[in-house]
Amino acid sequence: MLYFLIGCVISGAIAGGLGRLILPGRQEIGWFATIAAGTVAAAVGTGIAYLLGFTDKAWLVLVVQLLLAVGCVAVVSNMSGSKKSRS
């Protein structure tokens, strides 16, 4: 379980960073929010890959994680942007 969490944080940091690069425009979120969004995407992406039965194909797992990371970064960025626009 500990190795899974460490792996999620490491792959989440990478996926979150790549997600920010892929997402067009400027994201007004910090590095912690990027890593957190990527970690959630990595954990959920691994779970989805396990449920779909392609955990033996690492590149498919990474594609799922990256797609989810782009979505998570977009959601966190929109939540952060909506707070700033209210002020």
CA distance 56 to 28: 36
**pLDDT score recorded for residue 60:** 87
Q: Give the count of beta carbons closer than 10 Å to the beta carbon of residue 42.
A: 29
The per-residue pLDDT string of the chain (87 residues; one tens digit each, 9 = 90 and over) reads: 788 888 888 988 998 889 888 888 888 888 898 899 999 998 898 888 889 888 788 888 888 888 999 999 999 888 876 655 554
Count of CA atoms in the C-beta half-sphere (13 A) of 45: 29
At residue 27, φ and ψ (nearest 5 deg) are -100, 125
**pLDDT score recorded for residue 68:** 92
- Give the chain's end-to-end CA distance (angstroms, integer): 42
Parse the chain into domains and list their residue ranges: 31-76
Give whole-number Cα distances, 36 to 8, 52, 57, 66, 82, in Å.
10, 24, 25, 14, 19
**pLDDT score recorded for residue 84:** 56
